[in-house]
Chain A
C-alpha cells in the first residue's frame, strides 16, 4: 500500500465523498453544473445518478447514510459487524449492529476512484491472503486489515457451502484481526424440509452469537417492524419487476444496481422504501408513455446479466450498454424471490414468504428469507438441479423476454467458473446466445476495459444481435 494511502481512513474518506456527492444536487441545476467543473474525476460517476433525478439522488443519500452509520457506529454505542452482501442486514439492524458489507464498499471504491481499490486489494495479498481470492471482498477488506476503517467487532457471513472464496476471506479477516466469527453454512439443497430445518437451526444459533456479541436481546418487536417494512419493499420491487417486463422496459440500466444496492444496505429501512417509491413513480411515468428507460430512448435488445455486474471504470459497462441500446434485464442480484413474484413458475421452492403472526413465524421467515438471498439461493447446488442456476436463469430470461445472456464475475469466483462453461452450453442449447466475460467486476487490472469492450463488440456482432 502506498504510504500516502495509509494517511487516510478508508470509511471516513468514503463517507465524506458520498456525503458531498449526495448534496451536489441540492442546489440549482446551474450550481450543479458549475460544481461539476471542479470534480473532473468524480463527475463521470456522479452524473449518471444525478441525471436520474429524484431516485438517483436518493440513492446517493442512501450510500451517504450507510457510510455515516459505519463511521459513527461506535460513538452511538453500536457494534460493527463485518458481513457479506448476500446476508440480509435486517437481523443486524434489529439488534443494533451496523453492517460493514465488504462488497458494497468494494463496489463503491471500484466505481468512484480512478485507481479503483488497487492498494487495498494488494494489501490483503501482502498480508497473506491469496492473490486469487475474490476482489469483491479484497477491495475493501485491505483497508480494514490495515486499520484504516472502523474497528470491526465481529464477523458474520453466510457463504460456506455456497462460495468458499467469499467465506474464506471472511474467515481470514476474523483470524487476522482476531475477532469472533460466525458462519451460516448452507447445504447444497434449498427447499426440502430437511434443508429448511437446517436453515432455521443454523440461523437461531447465529442469533445467539449476535446476542452474545452485542450483550443485547434480539428485539422481536423491532424485527417484526423491519420484516413488515421488507414486505412493503418486496411489493414495490415486484411492481418494478412487472414494469421491467414491458417492451421497451421503462427501467434505466442503473435501476438494477439501485434495487439490489438499496436492499443490501437498508432492507427493512424506510429510506429504502422511499427510494423504491420514487423509482416506481419515475418508471411508471415512462411506462405510461411507452418510453424506454435507456438514455437514447431506443431499446434494441435485452440482455440478462446471469451473474453480477461490472463496477469498475466509472460504471463504463452501464454506459456501454446504454449507448448500444441494450437494456439491462437484471442479474442474479436483482430479484427478491418473494412469494407471488411473476417469475416463480416452477421455482416455487426458491421463494420465501414473510409471516409475522408469531415469534416462531418471524424467526423462521427471516431464516428462510436469508437462505434465499442472491447467490446463496441459486448457486449453492449443482447448476442443473431443480431450482438452481440454470432453471432460475431460464425462468427469468423467459419472463423478461431476454435476447442474450452475459456472464461477468471475478477470477476469484471458483464457484461459477467451475460450472459456467457447461451452464453456458446449456443456455445456448435453449437458444440464448451467451457471452462469458473474462474481466474482473472490481479490479480493472485483470482485463483492460479496451479488451473487454472488444470482446463484447465481437459477441454482439458475430452473433448478429446488434
Chain B
C-alpha cells in the first residue's frame, strides 16, 4: 500500500491530491493566500480531511506550481509542465496534447504515450488567454464564471471581440452592454476570443490526437466547444476528476512512481 500526495500552489488557487494505489482518496481546491506556505498547508489539510488521514501517513509528496519552493512538507519539486502532463495522462489516457489554462498562465503541452513531455509552450506574461481574463470579463458582465461558460450554446450570434487585451476588452464590453447587446452574445464573444488566442498557442506545439484540456478554464463549456471548432479537433472531456486538479494530481502520480521505484520519506 502506498499513500502519496501532490500539492500545486498556483497564483490564484492552490490544489492538493491524496492518492492510494492509483485512486484519489481526497482532493482540494482553495483560493491562494498571500503566503504560499500557508496556501499549501491549507490545501493539504483540506485534502487530508477529505481523505480521512493525516500528513504522517503520506509516504511521498511532490510540490509544483509557482509557490512550490515554499512548501514545507514535500520531498521534491517538479515543474507544472511535467505535472500537468502526468495528471492529464491519468485523466485521459489517450491524451497526447494538453491545453492547460490556469489563472495566470496558459500552456500547451505535447506528451508521449507515457505522459512524458515532448514539447511545450507557455503564454507570455499578460493576462490575455488566461483564466484571469475570463474572471475579469465575467465580473464586468455581472455573471458567475460558470454562467459565462453556458453563454456560447445560448446564442448563434456571438460578438467578434477585437481586442484580447484585458483592459481594452473591458472597455469594449461596457460599450456593447450600453448599446443593448445581449449578455449571451457578449459572453459567447468572450469565450470565442479566449479560444482563438489559445488555439494559436496549441497549434505552435503541433497538435497530436487526442487532445484534452485541464485547468480551471476546462470547465468553461463555451471555450472548450469554440476551441474544438477553431482547432478542428475533438477535445476529450475530463470526467475522472475535476480538471483543475490536474497539476496536483500529476504531482501525486510522480510521488507514486517514486515510491514504486524505491524512494520513501
- Give residues in A with beta carbon < 8 Å to B: 1-4, 114-115, 118, 122-123, 125-126, 444-451, 454
Partner of A122, one of B161, B169, B203, B229: B203
Partner of B163, one of A118, A447, A454: A447
Nearest-neighbour CB distance to chain B for A366, whole angstroms, equals 41
B200 pairs with A448, CB closer than 8 A: no
Interface bits B199-231 vs A (CB < 8 Å: 1, else 0): 110011000000000000000000000000111
**Residues of A contacting B169 with CB < 8 Å?**
448
**Residues of B contacting A123 with CB < 8 Å?**
203
* CB pairs A–B below 8 angstroms (8 shown): A4-B232, A122-B203, A125-B204, A126-B203, A444-B162, A447-B163, A448-B171, A451-B168
B168 pairs with A447, CB closer than 8 A: yes
Partner of A446, one of B163, B175, B199: B163
**Residues of B contacting A444 with CB < 8 Å?**
162
B163 pairs with A445, CB closer than 8 A: yes
**Residues of B contacting A450 with CB < 8 Å?**
162, 171-172, 175
B232 pairs with A3, CB closer than 8 A: yes
* CB-CB under 8 A for A115 and B232, given A122-B203, A125-B200, A448-B172: no
**Residues of A contacting B168 with CB < 8 Å?**
447-448, 451
> Is B117's beta carbon under 8 Å from chain A?
no
**Residues of A contacting B164 with CB < 8 Å?**
445
Nearest-neighbour CB distance to chain A for B209, whole angstroms, equals 13
* CB-CB under 8 A for A115 and B171, given A3-B232, A126-B203: no
**Residues of B contacting A3 with CB < 8 Å?**
231-232
A2 pairs with B229, CB closer than 8 A: yes
* CB-CB under 8 A for A2 and B171, given A447-B163, A449-B162: no
Nearest-neighbour CB distance to chain A for B191, whole angstroms, equals 15
> Is B196's beta carbon under 8 Å from chain A?
yes
**Residues of B contacting A115 with CB < 8 Å?**
160
B229 pairs with A447, CB closer than 8 A: no
The B contact surface, by secondary structure, is helix
A122–B129 CA distance with the chains assembled, in angstroms: 14
State how many residues of chain B have any CB contact under 8 Å with chain A.
20
**Residues of A contacting B199 with CB < 8 Å?**
122
Count chain A CB atoms within 10 A of each CB in B163, B199, B230, B232 and give the residue with the most. B163
**Residues of A contacting B162 with CB < 8 Å?**
444-451
Nearest-neighbour CB distance to chain A for B99, whole angstroms, equals 14
**Residues of A contacting B232 with CB < 8 Å?**
2-4
Interface bits B242-262 vs A (CB < 8 Å: 1, else 0): 000000000000000000000
The residue on A at minimum CB distance from B175 is A450
A337–B75 CA distance with the chains assembled, in angstroms: 72
* Top 6 A-B residue pairs of the complex, sorted by shortest distance between their CB atoms: A3-B232, A448-B162, A126-B203, A122-B200, A448-B172, A448-B163
A sample of 8 more A-B contacts (CB under 8 A), given A4-B232, A450-B172, is A2-B229, A2-B230, A125-B204, A445-B164, A446-B162, A448-B162, A451-B171, A451-B172
Nearest-neighbour CB distance to chain A for B197, whole angstroms, equals 9
**Residues of A contacting B229 with CB < 8 Å?**
2
**Residues of B contacting A445 with CB < 8 Å?**
161-164
**Residues of A contacting B165 with CB < 8 Å?**
447
A448 pairs with B203, CB closer than 8 A: no
**Residues of B contacting A2 with CB < 8 Å?**
229-232
B230 pairs with A114, CB closer than 8 A: no
Nearest-neighbour CB distance to chain A for B223, whole angstroms, equals 16
A445–B165 CA distance with the chains assembled, in angstroms: 9
**Residues of B contacting A125 with CB < 8 Å?**
200, 204
A115–B203 CA distance with the chains assembled, in angstroms: 19
**Residues of B contacting A126 with CB < 8 Å?**
200, 203-204
A325–B162 CA distance with the chains assembled, in angstroms: 26
The residue on B at minimum CB distance from A449 is B162
Nearest-neighbour CB distance to chain B for A343, whole angstroms, equals 36
Nearest-neighbour CB distance to chain A for B228, whole angstroms, equals 11
A376–B168 CA distance with the chains assembled, in angstroms: 33
A125–B123 CA distance with the chains assembled, in angstroms: 13
Count chain B CB atoms within 10 A of each CB in A444, A447, A449, A451 and give the residue with the most. A451
Nearest-neighbour CB distance to chain A for B77, whole angstroms, equals 31
Interface bits B148-161 vs A (CB < 8 Å: 1, else 0): 00000000000011
Nearest-neighbour CB distance to chain B for A317, whole angstroms, equals 14
A446–B160 CA distance with the chains assembled, in angstroms: 13
A114–B157 CA distance with the chains assembled, in angstroms: 14
Which residues of B in the span 51-86 have a Cβ within 8 Å of any Cβ on A? none
**Residues of A contacting B200 with CB < 8 Å?**
122, 125-126
Nearest-neighbour CB distance to chain A for B120, whole angstroms, equals 15
Partner of A114, one of B160, B161, B163, B231: B160
Nearest-neighbour CB distance to chain B for A341, whole angstroms, equals 38
Which residues of B in the span 88-106 have a Cβ within 8 Å of any Cβ on A? none
A454–B178 CA distance with the chains assembled, in angstroms: 15
**Residues of B contacting A446 with CB < 8 Å?**
162-163
The residue on B at minimum CB distance from A453 is B175
A126–B171 CA distance with the chains assembled, in angstroms: 29
B161 pairs with A448, CB closer than 8 A: yes
